[in-house]
Structure 1
């Protein structure tokens, strides 16, 4: 503890005041509590006029002067208890004014309540004690303001270094003497100082909290406690467009500390906004390379990617596409940038008209699974393909994404259901319109034209097989089919007509 800090220990250390403790055992922490002010009063119950964090000075005129102190022990005990309950941090007794010394019962009461009690000799005026504490308060305030100015200068210089953000985080941690971390828009810890200072469980819990803050999208500051460690979180960027979070392993900061953190947030926010412009340029370039790959000629994409991000994943590859909303694409893209840097040659991505396109080696799906878990998105995944078939693979990925329900959906799984399974409500509406004349005729005339047509098509248009399935003569089947042709106005000998009617009947089965 700084000897100049406004504490009872600092007051007792002032030799010019000649103060001395009057109790035998004192909790060291009690001596180091900050003193907000020093006040003097001889009221028996001054607590209605006091606030927390005061040192109270008294000459003892409020106590009974007649009788033995032991007989008045309850008076002293009640007095000290009131002071302790009010948050008084220490009691000074001025001797040789009303009493020759400190009453023994008062010493005992302070000892019982663990209230620091000290003697103020006659030649030390109370005003000198109060002034000494006021000077300590002023000195501390000046020191903190000086520290804040020096810290802001140091942080501003750090921001000019090549990795301005990393240097700023390190300088803030140094100035606050604690751990500081910066999380990006994807919730990934991108910079920290000192590195690895948090335990694995604490780091994981903190990342979950940060991810929740980013998903809410509101600009805010918050405090939390993970185990025994308090944290302060401050968002970076505008509401709805958060660029990250700064986490500080500290609870409530004083005014000067908050000023320094605010300066860091302002500088970090500006740096991130500048990086956003560069990020938009990278995103546009990646989108252009996706369009280039769709032409079936990967030469330009190979050369550009190799120069900027490393080689494209080796063929055969799988192409994936997400359903991420536009508001979340930035956060996902930032995480993918980190992965692409870590997994050079094993991941490429870029934006398309309806989502993020991802390219990974055919045998590697781990990155996609982690992406799904982190952001709760759906990803459609193509069959293995070469870059000359990129456009077709992207089409497969879109089909798999649109027909998938959750997680990663492979096109191979979707394709097993067949072409007709992809027909939706529009196809069923057309099917009902196509077969309506037969349905209406059956309803009005009691015929079985729809049933007969369906059995005949299922039996590969064999009259004999259809007759056996329906339990009628083959001439009856021929007669019904001829009637169906007239009702529909269609030629059943045409393969196109048969195929269309078969598809309509299948569409109405779902």
Structure 2
């Protein structure tokens, strides 16, 4: 996008207008002559500012200064120019030989003091000629921008037809905008970018963090932000709740035509990604079928099919992971795992009713750990096993998952125990019934019996330690424990009663 907007410099360069810059270069701000102009207006009012818009040139013959002593005193001229400067006027043109032969010296000094560009309009150049010249420049620029937009969209459409459609589209958009363009997948991983080596590592990390945050929100969005001294535009791809990725543009100041080109790319990229959904469903069904055969501890079919389509299954011994991912992030998790399987190999995954099952070599736990961190997933991980023990390892991963929290990996060795088996519908139903008297009392009276008893048992039924943990007096803890005993109808001084109550608290979560 190299077209320049209509400017005072462009008007001064037109020989047919015969304009002369009266300001010295040292009296002007850098770029003052190159600021875009929205219009050219003429007025001889002493205060025309109520009738002016921003970013225009004002033309005057100086009639308003006749008899005001502007030849020798700068007071009126200074106030006049200060008002124009405050209003956002880009420059002042003085028409000579109408009221006087030259530009009043006081006006020259006032414009220099405000760093306002001042130029002479000779008698033979009508003011309307400047207005018409600027209007023609605006129209020519608009035509050039529309022509550029059509040409850019045509070039991008041709790029999209190439075998590497998405990569070619990103590269062509970057070329047309003269900016850095990146395509992030649904998991927030940068998959395509152009041109190379434009952003440093810190900028890329900041961009990836922001892209991940936008995608985690799960809703369609367009946003702009600053990274360092660069302007960044971001636009999500796909439907709300089912985002397929995000396009980021760094270093482009997009006008209406630029935004239209970006919108066309977003539409094409979104369509291309959505078209992959059907193929993704077929792959998911095939993977689920292979997982079913693995759970029967018969890896032969899975080995043969995987070798033909994706490469060999991970080498034994393997780790089985089961990941619980938020519903609006499941597609992102699958996209990320598909990318990892294609780039790294040595990884098999499939969706199941219990979550996403991930199989990796026992020597490589990177994928489950990264999955937990990137997508805030809870992951349960089995002990190493061969494929003949796949079902047992899968059960271990499910056991570990029951105690895992979002964003972390829990290994079976850390989660295994008798109490971990309490996570079942039957155990939860019994636990809820057992704890109902305490919960009902807490809800009715605003007490904290359940929390107090849990903390008391956690600290080995020691009143003083529980009081410190809860931040209350030890007599309050003792009174609450006594009240809990009464409501439950048990004697909590005995170990079996305390063990049963602790089991109920664990099962109830």
Change (3 A) 1:193 1:285: same
Contact 2:70 2:104 in 1 (8 A): no
Contact 2:183 2:247 in 1 (8 A): yes
Change (3 A) 1:387 1:122: same
Give 2:118's aligned residue: 117
Contact 1:431 1:504 in 2 (8 A): no
Partner SS for 1:141: helix
Change (3 A) 1:421 1:61: closer
Change (3 A) 1:99 1:355: same
Give 1:278's aligned residue: 279
Partner SS for 1:351: strand
Change (3 A) 1:278 1:100: same
Change (3 A) 1:32 1:170: same
Change (3 A) 1:290 1:102: same
Change (3 A) 1:163 1:76: same
Contact 1:321 1:379 in 2 (8 A): yes
Contact 2:402 2:423 in 1 (8 A): no
Contact 1:296 1:387 in 2 (8 A): yes
Q: Deviations over 1:382-419 (max 9, x none)?
A: 1111101111110111011113345211112222x3x3
Question: Could you tell me how far apart the structure 1 residues matched to 2:150 and 2:203 are?
Answer: 32
Alpha-carbon shift at residue 117 of structure 1 (Å): 0.4
Q: Deviations over 1:147-202 (max 9, x none)?
A: 11111111111110111111111111111110011111111111111123211111
Give 1:32's aligned residue: 34
Q: Residue 8 in 1 paired to residue 22 in 2?
A: no
Matches within 5 A, 1:393-432: 393-405=393-405, 407-415=408-416, 417=417, 419=418, 422-423=421-422, 426-427=426-427
Question: Could you tell me how far apart the structure 1 residues matched to 2:215 and 2:117 are?
Answer: 48
Partner SS for 1:400: helix
Give 1:210's aligned residue: 211
Partner SS for 2:65: coil
Contact 2:43 2:58 in 1 (8 A): yes
Give 2:131's aligned residue: 130
Question: Could you tell me how far apart the structure 2 residues matched to 1:108 and 1:509 are?
Answer: 88
Matches within 5 A, 1:300-379: 300-345=301-346, 347-379=347-379
Give 2:382's aligned residue: 382
TM-score, with structure 2 as normaliser: 0.82
Question: Could you tell me how far apart the structure 2 residues matched to 1:8 and 1:161 are?
Answer: 44
Give ranges in structure 1 of 5+ residues lacking alignment: 434-501
Alpha-carbon shift at residue 371 of structure 1 (Å): 1.5
Give 2:18's aligned residue: 18
Alpha-carbon shift at residue 508 of structure 1 (Å): 5.4
Q: Residue 263 in 1 paired to residue 303 in 2?
A: no
Alpha-carbon shift at residue 366 of structure 1 (Å): 2.4
Change (3 A) 1:7 1:313: same
Give 2:46's aligned residue: 44
Contact 1:57 1:93 in 2 (8 A): yes
Change (3 A) 1:274 1:128: same
Contact 1:428 1:504 in 2 (8 A): no
Change (3 A) 1:6 1:306: same
Contact 2:54 2:88 in 1 (8 A): yes
Give ranges in structure 2 of 5+ residues lacking alignment: 434-494, 504-509
Q: Deviations over 1:408-460 (max 9, x none)?
A: 11112222x3x355236955987999xxxxxxxxxxxxxxxxxxxxxxxxxxx
Q: Deviations over 1:229-287 (max 9, x none)?
A: 11111111111111111111146521111111111111111111101111111111111
Question: Could you tell me how far apart the structure 1 residues matched to 2:230 and 2:169 are?
Answer: 22
Give 1:53's aligned residue: 55
Question: Could you tell me how far apart the structure 2 residues matched to 1:257 and 1:506 are?
Answer: 68
Question: Could you tell me how far apart the structure 2 residues matched to 1:428 and 1:279 are?
Answer: 37
Contact 1:22 1:107 in 2 (8 A): yes
Question: Could you tell me how far apart the structure 1 residues matched to 2:360 and 2:402 are?
Answer: 20
Aligned Cα RMSD in Å? 2.4
Give 1:487's aligned residue: none
Question: Could you tell me how far apart the structure 2 residues matched to 1:90 and 1:108 are?
Answer: 14
Q: When the two structures are aligned, how many residues end up with a matched partner?
A: 439
Alpha-carbon shift at residue 29 of structure 1 (Å): 0.3
Partner SS for 2:316: coil
Question: Could you tell me how far apart the structure 2 residues matched to 1:337 and 1:269 are?
Answer: 18
Partner SS for 1:115: coil
Contact 1:432 1:508 in 2 (8 A): no
Give 2:487's aligned residue: none
